[in-house]
C-alpha cells in the first residue's frame, strides 16, 4: 500500500487526505477542531437541504447539540435519530428504525445522511443511506479512533447477522469525512486501544517502518500528542491508497482484513457483546493468531510473531483465545463461524497471513485441517 506520504503535523494543523475515486472522489479532513467545517461543508454539498444525523445515545449526549447547531446555523434543516450505543445496534431492528425515521422526516434523494459516531453508527447509517430511496449521499463524522482510521473510509457499510459479521450491506462511499481528533478526548481507554489495533494493522500489512513508529508512539496517540493526528492521517492515507486501487475488494483490498478471519469469528461467538469483546480487540487477537499461524506453517519468523503479540499486549490488547471473557468457543465452532467469512471462495478459506512484519499476503485455499490443529494447540496453550 504505497500511500501518499504524510508528514507529522505542526501542533493544531489539519490534514486533508484524498480518496481518489474519480467522479466519486472525496476528502478526509483530519485535525483537532475540524468540526467547525461541518456546517459550511454540508451546506455546500446540499444547499438549503436537510441533514439526517444518525448517531448513538452516547455520542448524541456529547456532541449532538453542537453538530445540530452548526448545521442549522449554516441554513440546513436537521433531523436526528440515535441508536443504542454498541455493536448490538448494527442489525435489522435499528436499520428498519432509522430508515423509517428518515422517510417520516421526508429525507429526499438530494439531502444528506450524517453518520456521527463510531464504526457501528458509520456502518449502520451508511447502509441506510445506501438503500434509502435507492441512495442518499453520506457524510461520515467519525468519533472513535477506530472509525477515524478505518471504518469512515472506503465505503464498506452494513449490518451483522446471527450468521456473522457484516454479512448484509453495500459499498456506499461517503461524499466527505470529517475526523475531528479532538472528539476522541472523551473516548474510553478501552475503546482507544481497540481502535489502535486497526492503526498498527497498517504497519503489519506492508509498512514495517510504520509498525516501528507505532511501537515508539502508541501512548502519544491515546494521550493526544501530535502523534494522534499523524497516526490518523497516515492510516487514512494507507487505506485511501488501497480503496482507490481496489474499491470493492476484488484483489489486494483483502489485505485490510488482516486478523479479521479469526477476529470476526470471535466477535460472533462472543455474541457481539461489547462486555466480552469489541471489534478492535477481536482484530488484535486475530492478528496475533495470523502471525502465529504463519510461523507454525514456516512462513514467518517466530520472532516476528512474538514481537507482534508482545507489542499488542504492551498496549493492553488481548492476543490469545483465552483472553476472551467467557471463552472463545471450540476449534470446530470457530471454524464453523469462519466458513461464513466473505473471503471464502468456492467453500475454501482465505486468510491474510504474513512472511514477516510488513509482509502480509492473501492466502487462498487454506487447509481447514491445518487451521483446526492450530486452533486446538492455541486453546490448550496456557
Ligand atoms: N466499514 C469499515 O470499513 C469498518 C472498518 C473497521 C470496523 N468497522 C466496524 O466498526 C465497528 C466498531 O466501531 P467502533 O470501535 O468505533 O465501535 P462503536 O461504534 O461501538 O463505538 C464504541 C463505543 O464508544 C462510544 N463512543 C463513540 N464515540 C465516542 C466519543 N467521542 N467519546 C466517548 N464515547 C464514544 C460509542 O457510543 C460506543 O459505546 C464494528 O462493527 C466493525 O465491524 C467497519
Ligand atoms: O475496509 C476494509 O476492506 C477492511 O477490511 C477494514 C476492516 O478493518 C473492517 O473491519 C471491515 O469492515 C471488514 O470487512 P469485511 O468485508 O470483512 O466485513
Ligand atoms: Zn476491522
Exposure class string for 286-317: b at 16+ Cβ within 10 A, else e? bbbbbbbbbbbeebbbeebbebbbebbeebeb
The predicted pLDDT at position 2 comes to 47
For the cut 60, the answer to whether the pLDDT of residue 10 exceeds it is no
Taking the C-alpha atoms of residue 32 and residue 29, their distance in angstroms, rounded to an integer, is: 10
How confident is the model at residue 11, as a pLDDT? 53
Name the closest-CA residue to atom 15, ligand 2: 166
Average pLDDT over residues 140-161: 98
pLDDT at residue 375 tops 90: yes
- Residue nearest atom 16 of ligand 2, based on CA coordinates: 342
Whether pLDDT at 4 is above 80: no
Q: Are 142 and 179 in contact (CB under 8 A)?
A: yes
pLDDT at 119 exceeding the cut of 90: yes
112 vs 138: CA distance, rounded Å? 6
Q: Quick check: is 156 catalytic?
A: yes
pLDDT > 90: percent of the chain: 96
How far apart, in whole angstroms, are the C-alpha atoms of residue 190 and residue 358?
26
State the distance from the centre of ligand 1 to the C-alpha of 369, rounded, in angstroms. 34
List own/partner pairs for 39-43 with CB under 8 A and 24 or more apart: 39/70, 39/71, 39/73, 39/74, 39/76, 40/74, 41/139, 41/176, 41/178, 42/71, 42/74, 42/76, 42/112, 42/114, 42/139, 42/176, 43/74, 43/75, 43/76
**Atom of ligand 1 at shortest range from CA of 194:** 15
Mean pLDDT confidence for 66-87: 98
Q: How far is the CA of 256 from the centre of ligand 2 (A)?
A: 6
pLDDT for 194? 98
Find the residues whose C-beta lies inside 6 A of ligand 1: 56, 58-59, 62, 85-87, 90, 117-121, 123, 143-144, 146-147, 150-151, 154, 156, 165-166, 183-184, 186-187, 191, 194-195, 198, 278-280
Query: Rounded mean pLDDT of 214-238?
Result: 97
Q: What ipTM score was computed for the predicted complex, to two decimals?
A: 0.99
Range 112-132 average pLDDT: 99
Identify whether 260 is a catalytic site residue.
yes
* CA count, 13 A, side-chain hemisphere, 363: 20
DSSP lists the bridge partners of residue 15 as 30
Of 68, 228, 279, 311, the active-site residue reads: 279
Confidence of residue 12 (pLDDT cuts 50, 70, 90): low
Q: Is the dihedral of CA 96, 342, 265, 151 positive or negative?
A: negative
Give the mean model confidence (pLDDT) for residues 97-105. 98
State the average pLDDT over residues 344-373. Answer: 97
Alpha-carbon gap, residue 324 to 125, rounded angstroms: 29
The three cell numbers of residue 273 are 457483546
Q: Does the predicted TM-score (pTM) go above 0.95?
A: yes
**pLDDT at residue 103, rounded to an integer:** 98
Active site residue 198: yes
Work out the mean pLDDT of the chain and round it to a whole number: 96
**Number of helices and strands in the chain (H, E):** 14, 11
For 4-27, what is the mean pLDDT?
A: 81
Is the confidence at residue 60, as pLDDT, over 50?
yes
Q: Which residue has the higher pLDDT, 28 or 12?
A: 28
Q: Residue whose CA is closest, atom 41 of ligand 1?
A: 120
| Residue 339: count of CB within 10 angstroms of its CB | 14
Cell 463524522 belongs to which residue? 141
pLDDT at res. 381: 86
**76 by DSSP, 3-state: which?**
coil
Cα 20 from chain centroid (whole Å): 19
Could you tell me what percent of the chain has a pLDDT over 70? 97
Amino acid at each position: 500500500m504505497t500511500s501518499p506520504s504524510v508528514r507529522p503535523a505542526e501542533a493544531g494543523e489539519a490534514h486533508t487526505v484524498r480518496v481518489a475515486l474519480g467522479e466519486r472522489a472525496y476528502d478526509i479532513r483530519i485535525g483537532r477542531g475540524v468540526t467547525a467545517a461541518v456546517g459550511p461543508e454540508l451546506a455546500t454539498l446540499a444547499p438549503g437541504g436537510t441533514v439526517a444525523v444518525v448517531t448513538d445515545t452516547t455520542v448524541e449526549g456529547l456532541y449532538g447539540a453542537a453538530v445540530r447547531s452548526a448545521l442549522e446555523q449554516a441554513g440546513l434543516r436537521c433531523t436526528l435519530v440515535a441508536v443504542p450505543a454498541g455493536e448490538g445496534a448494527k442489525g435489522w431492528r435499528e436499520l428498519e428504525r432509522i430508515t423509517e425515521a428518515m422517510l417520516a422526516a421526508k429525507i429526499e434523494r438530494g439531502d444528506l445522511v450524517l453518520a456521527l459516531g463510531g464504526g457501528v453508527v458509520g456502518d449502520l447509517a451508511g447502509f441506510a443511506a445506501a438503500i434509502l430511496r435507492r441512495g442518499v449521499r453520506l457524510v461520515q463524522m467519525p468519533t472513535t479512533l477506530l472509525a477515524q482510521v478505518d471504518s469512515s473510509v472506503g465505503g464498506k457499510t452494513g449490518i451483522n447477522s446471527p450468521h456473522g459479521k457484516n454479512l448484509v450491506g453495500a459499498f456506499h462511499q461517503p461524499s466527505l469525512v470529517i475526523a475531528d481528533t479532538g472528539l476522541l478526548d472523551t473516548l474510553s481507554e478501552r475503546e482507544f486501544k481497540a481502535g489502535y489495533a486497526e492503526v498498527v494493522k497498517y504497519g503489519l500489512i506492508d509498512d514495517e517502518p510504520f509498525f516501528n513508529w507505532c511501537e515508539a508512539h502508541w501512548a502519544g496517540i491515546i494521550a493526544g500528542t501530535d502523534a494522534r493526528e499523524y497516526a490518523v492521517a497516515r492510516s487514512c492515507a494507507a487505506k485511501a491508497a488501497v480503496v482507490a486501487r481496489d474499491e470493492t475488494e476484488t484483489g489486494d483490498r483483502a489485505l485490510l482484513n488482516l486478523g479479521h478471519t479469526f477476529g470476526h469469528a470471535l466477535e460472533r461467538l462472543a455474541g457481539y457483546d461489547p462486555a466480552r469483546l469489541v471489534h478492535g480487540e477481536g482484530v488484535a487477537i486475530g492478528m496475533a493468531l495470523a502471525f502465529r499461524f504463519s510461523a507454525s506453517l514456516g512462513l514467518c519468523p517466530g520472532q516476528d510473531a512474538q514481537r507482534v503479540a508482545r507489542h499488542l499486549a504492551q498496549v493492553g490488547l488481548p492476543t490469545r483465545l483465552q483472553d476472551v471473557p467467557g471463552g472463545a468457543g471450540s476449534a470446530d465452532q470457530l471454524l464453523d463461524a469462519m466458513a461464513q467469512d466473505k473471503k471464502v471462495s468456492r467453500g475454501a478459506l482465505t486468510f491474510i497471513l504474513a512472511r514477516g512484519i510488513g509482509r502480509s499476503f492473501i492466502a487462498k485455499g487454506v487447509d481447514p485441517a491445518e487451521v483446526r490443529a492450530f486452533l486446538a494447540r492455541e486453546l490448550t496453550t496456557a
